[in-house]
């Protein structure tokens, strides 16, 4: 029997688990989980989340954040520098290579803010469920009189 590591299922989703699509991806053989750049996902409130990505060497102009069809995409591309202004490294340990990182968002997830602080890109998200989709209380009547209330 084959053992599957399901930890990639929980690393790239925010606000819910899209088990079906991730299992399809596992079964198709595409199990490579990108590891650059490192990131954290934290729950900051009841319906609030924060994604923090280590983007050392990148400035605000080098980063792009896009939300489309429940997918959050962060891309970074280092701008080219003229050869005469290119530094001569004795040791180069900071990668500064471009990347693209995607996160699948749950329904009703909204990106509220993004900030670049001390080499970390912080992206704040909040789940805003419309009032029509929230649970509500329905009164049960008994012969025209309210008898009891069931809460959703």
Classify residue 77: in a domain, yes or no.
yes
Q: Note if the pTM is more than 0.85.
A: no
Domain that holds residue 18: 8-150
Name the pairing type of β-strands 109-117 and 48-54.
unpaired
Per-residue pLDDT of the chain (152 residues; tens, 9 = 90+): 455 565 665 566 665 545 555 555 555 555 455 678 899 999 998 889 999 999 988 889 999 999 998 899 999 998 776 677 778 888 888 777 889 999 988 888 899 999 999 999 999 999 888 877 778 888 887 776 655 666 65
Classify residue 3: in a domain, yes or no.
no
Q: How many domains does the chain have?
A: 1
Cβ-based neighbours of 45, under 8 Å, separated by 6 or more: 126
- Contact (CB, 8 A) for 37 and 101: yes
Check which CATH number belongs to the domain holding 133 and give it: 2.60.40.790
Classify residue 69: in a domain, yes or no.
yes
């Amino acid at each position: 029997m084959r053992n599957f590591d399901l930890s990639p299922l929980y690393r790239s989703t925010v606000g819910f688990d899209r088990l079906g699509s991730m299992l399809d991806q596992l079964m198709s053989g595409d199990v490579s989980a990108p590891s650059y750049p490192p990131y954290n996902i934290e729950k900051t409130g009841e319906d609030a989340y924060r994604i923090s990505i280590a983007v050392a060497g990148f400035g605000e102009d080098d980063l792009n954040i896009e939300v489309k069809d429940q997918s959050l995409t962060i891309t970074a591309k280092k701008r080219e520098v003229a050869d005469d202004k290119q530094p001569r490294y004795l040791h180069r340990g900071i990668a500064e290579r471009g990347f693209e990182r995607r996160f699948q968002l749950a329904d009703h997830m909204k990106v509220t803010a993004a900030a670049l602080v001390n080499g970390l890109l912080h992206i704040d998200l909040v789940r805003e469920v419309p009032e029509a989709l929230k649970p509500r209380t329905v009164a049960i009547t008994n012969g025209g009189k309210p008898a009891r209330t069931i809460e959703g």
